[in-house]
A and B are shown apart, each in its own frame.
Chain A
Amino acid sequence: MSLIAFQTIVIKEVNRILRIWGQTLVPPAITMTLYFLIFGQLVGSRIGEMGGHRYMDFIVPGLVMMSVIQNAYANVVSSFFGSKFGRYVEELLVSPTPNWIILAGYVAGGVMRGMLVGGIVLIVSLLFTDLSIAHPWIMLLSVFVAAVLFSLAGFVNAVYAKKFDDISIIPTFILTPLTYLGGVFYSVNLLPEFWRNVSLANPILYTVNAFRYGVLGESDVNLWVAFAIMIGMTAVLFVFCLHLLRQGVGLRS
Chain B
Amino acid sequence: MHALSATHLKKTYGNRVEALKGISLDVAQGDFFALLGPNGAGKSTLIGIASSLVRPSSGDVRIFGKSVVTDRMAAVAHIGLVPQEFNFNQFEKPFEILVNQAGYYGVPRELAKRRAEQYLNQLTLWDKKDVASRTLSGGMKRRLMIARAMMHEPRLLILDEPTAGVDIEIRRSMWTYLTDINRAGTTVILTTHYLEEAENLCRNIAIIDRGTIIEHTGMKQLLGKLDREHFIFDLARPIETLPELGGYRVTRIDELTIEIEVPRGTELNALFGALSGAGIGVRSMRNKTNRLEELFMNLLDDAKGRAA
Per DSSP, are chain A's interface residues mostly helix, strand or loop, or mixed?
A: helix
Q: What is the number of residues of chain A that contact chain B, defined by CB distance less than 8 Å?
A: 27
Is B76's CB within 8 Å of the partner chain A? yes
- Whether A95 and B88, one on each chain, are in contact in the complex, defined by CB atoms closer than 8 angstroms, is no
| 0/1 string, B74-101, CB within 8 A of A gives 1 | 1011010101011111110000100111
- Whether B91 and A4, one on each chain, are in contact in the complex, defined by CB atoms closer than 8 angstroms, is no
- Whether A253 and B48, one on each chain, are in contact in the complex, defined by CB atoms closer than 8 angstroms, is yes
- Least Cβ distance of B146 to chain A in Å? 14
Is A90's CB within 8 Å of the partner chain B? yes
B:115-153 near A, CB below 8 Å: 148
Q: What is the number of residues of chain B that contact chain A, defined by CB distance less than 8 Å?
A: 35
Chain B hits for A90, CB < 8 A: 53, 83, 87
| 0/1 string, A221-253, CB within 8 A of B gives 1 | 000000000000000000000000000100011
- Whether B89 and A92, one on each chain, are in contact in the complex, defined by CB atoms closer than 8 angstroms, is no
> Contacts A90-B53, A95-B76 known; A4 to B108 CB distance under 8 Å?
yes
- Least Cβ distance of A171 to chain B in Å? 22
Cross-chain pairs A/B with CB under 8 angstroms, 11 sampled: A5-B103, A7-B103, A7-B109, A12-B100, A92-B104, A94-B76, A96-B74, A96-B104, A252-B54, A253-B48, A253-B55
Given A4-B109, A91-B101, A253-B48, 7 new contacts (CB under 8 A): A2-B106, A86-B89, A93-B52, A94-B79, A95-B105, A96-B73, A252-B53
Q: Residues on B close to A: CB < 8 A? A: 13-14, 48, 51-55, 72-74, 76-77, 79, 81, 83, 85-91, 96, 99-101, 103-109, 148
9 closest Cβ pairs, A-B complex? A8-B103, A1-B106, A95-B104, A87-B87, A96-B73, A96-B77, A94-B51, A88-B89, A90-B87
Q: Residues on A close to B: CB < 8 A? A: 1-2, 4-5, 7-9, 11-12, 15, 19, 83, 86-88, 90-98, 248, 252-253
